[in-house]
Amino acid sequence: MESVLSLAESTPILFLVMFAAIFLLFLLVILQAVRISRLRKSLSKLLSGTNGANLEEGMHQLFQEMDDMKKRQVDQQFLVNRLSQRIAGQSGNLGIVRYNAFEDIGSDLSFSLAILDDAQNGVVMTSIYSRMESRVYAKPVEQGSSSYHLSEEEQTAIRKAMNQSAARSS
């Protein structure tokens, strides 16, 4: 200690510079303590949230709700896919051809109606009209053809229904 005092007496400027540096560092420490105190108060307000609710708990709750929403979205996507498959399996493609089955009847009162799904499965119905009677026939259709003999009009009706399916897919 005596050596420091003897040094201080010999070089008063050095001593004043050291004292000023220590004083500045002391002020800097006080300033930083005040800043840290303000940050702690701000962080405390942020983490306490509103109405006493903790922000961290609120965020965990939001993440849980997001996970639940994702699960519901996956379930709904599965349901949409199932419904799309069912809709594709429905007979929604129609083709109709009207024609005159007999030359003595003056109008196109006979018809062939094809009702197909997207896989070209379904039925073709034909109604043949004459003055004395009317007959209706139905033939199964699988993949665009039937195991029964198809008339030219029935084949045309099936082609129309298949074209309707292809046009909707495009």
Q: pLDDT tens digits, residue range 111-169?
A: 999 998 888 889 999 999 887 888 999 999 998 888 999 999 999 999 998 887 666 66
Q: What pLDDT is stored for residue 51 in this prediction?
A: 63
Q: What pLDDT is stored for residue 96 in this prediction?
A: 92
CA distance 36 to 10: 41
Q: State yes or no: pLDDT of 59 exceeds 60.
A: yes
Neighbours of 150 (CB within 10 A): 19
Model confidence at 53, pLDDT cuts 50, 70, 90, reads low
Q: What pLDDT is stored for residue 130 in this prediction?
A: 82
Predicted model pTM: 0.51
Q: pLDDT tens digits, residue range 80-101?
A: 999 888 877 666 789 999 988 8
Residues 6+ apart with CB under 8 A from 168: 93
Q: Which segment of 18-22, 50-54, 61-65, 139-143 scores lowest on mean pLDDT?
A: 50-54
CA distances from 8 to 2, 18, 21, 25, 94 (A): 10, 10, 15, 20, 110
Q: What pLDDT is stored for residue 32 in this prediction?
A: 96
Q: What pLDDT is stored for residue 74 in this prediction?
A: 94
Contact call for residues 161 and 115 (beta carbons, < 8 A): yes
Strand runs (DSSP E) across 53-133, as ranges? 93-99, 110-116, 122-129
CA distance 51 to 35: 26
Q: Which of 121, 118, 115 is nearest to 167 (CA)?
A: 118
Amino acid found at 72 = R
Pairing of strands 93-99, 122-129: unpaired
Q: pLDDT tens digits, residue range 30-47?
A: 999 999 999 988 877 777
Q: What pLDDT is stored for residue 9 in this prediction?
A: 64
Q: What pLDDT is stored for residue 166 in this prediction?
A: 63
CB-based burial of residue 3 (10 Å sphere; 0-12 exposed, 13-18 middle, 19+ buried)?
exposed
